[in-house]
Amino acid sequence: MSPKAYRRGYIVAILLGIESDHAALWQVFSQVAKHKQTLLLNGDRSDPKAVYSFHESIVNALRPTLKEGVRSIIVASPAKTSYAQEFLSHIKTHHSWLLQGPNRATFSTITGSASTPPQVAALTKTTMFKQLIQETASEETENLLEILDKRLNKADNLVFFSVEEAENMILGTQPPGKPKPEYLLLTDNYLSSSRQKNRVHRLLQIAKNRGVKTRIINAESTAGLRLTQLGGLVCLARAD
């Protein structure tokens, strides 16, 4: 990872700012928010088809980050508008898969604009935003804990607890029919205190590039405490 990536910290949520004619997508890192994409509404909000296409374009823009394992999404819209609620209604009606199962995403709403860096900087400093980050992160890590405990209770050897085992799983090419790496989970304390920090960062980057869901979890959270009990790093595989 580059020095710039180090300064950002680790990603904790997605911030989606919806306005009357566009939506801005941001990746919220532990130290800074990074603009990812702006999507335009092609048409008028009075046209249901235009709004439907707009909402679908937002879902498609969210997919890559969701596939990386980031499941916390905060939706912002200006006061006295229903843009956030309309988008969540679209999710419930057309993409209920996002709200179900252990891999479900956690959505929350906040009043405010999030289109420009100054707007995002002001919004992310509010007490409400910080509280939402904590709440959505808590729900997300509970979902991860559910996945972890289910894998631990299976006798199929799909959980690995060391950097070496994770590297063998993620860096190697797994033959057809063999388990494939699905998650790489570690605590922020493990990452900051590891004597093999560069090695771990390299593993995180390669895992991300290969489609493995990577999550750095607050060590003080419920899931973080559980991970710490297991050594601080866990690689979960899935059987094909």
Return per-residue pLDDT of the chain as tens, 240 residues: 444 444 555 677 899 999 999 999 998 886 688 999 999 999 999 999 999 999 999 999 998 888 777 788 999 999 999 999 999 999 999 999 888 876 678 898 999 999 999 999 999 889 888 888 777 767 767 777 777 777 777 766 688 888 898 888 888 777 777 778 888 888 888 888 888 888 888 888 888 888 888 888 888 877 788 888 888 998 888 876
Residue 207: both structure tokens together = 């895992």
At residue 102, the pLDDT reads 63
What's the total number of domains in the chain? 2
- CA 181 to the chain's CA centroid: 17
Please, is 229 exposed, middle or buried when counting C-beta atoms within 10 Å of its C-beta (0-12, 13-18, 19+)?
Answer: exposed
Of 151, 224, 216, 146, the C-alpha closest to 1 is 216
E strand spans, 129-218: 159-160, 180-187, 213-217
CATH code for the domain in which residue 232 is found: 3.30.1330.30
User: Are 121 and 166 within one domain?
Assistant: no
- Predicted pLDDT of residue 134: 76
Report whether 216 contacts 186 (CB < 8 A). yes
Q: Are 160 and 166 in contact (CB under 8 A)?
A: yes
Domain encompassing residue 177:
154-238
What's the burial of 101, exposed, middle or buried (CB within 10 Å: 0-12/13-18/19+)?
exposed
For residue 156, the model assigns a pLDDT of: 66
Question: What's the gap between Cα 118 and its chain centre?
Answer: 23
Q: Could you tell me if 162 and 136 lie in one domain? A: no
Question: Both 135 and 164 in a single domain?
Answer: no
Give the pLDDT score at 9. Answer: 59
31 and 105 in a single domain? The answer is: yes
CATH of the domain at 121: 3.30.420.60
Is 17 within a domain?
yes
Residues 98 and 207 in one domain: no
**Burial bucket for residue 45 (CB in 10 Å: 0-12, 13-18, 19+):** middle
- In this prediction, residue 17 carries a pLDDT of 96
Are 83 and 177 found together in one domain?
Answer: no
Are residues 23 and 128 located together in one domain of the fold? Answer: yes
Question: Do 180 and 219 have their domain in common?
Answer: yes
For residues 105 and 98, the answer to whether their CB atoms sit within 8 Å is: yes
Same domain, 131 and 30: yes
For CA atoms 72, 169, 173, 155, give the dihedral sign.
negative
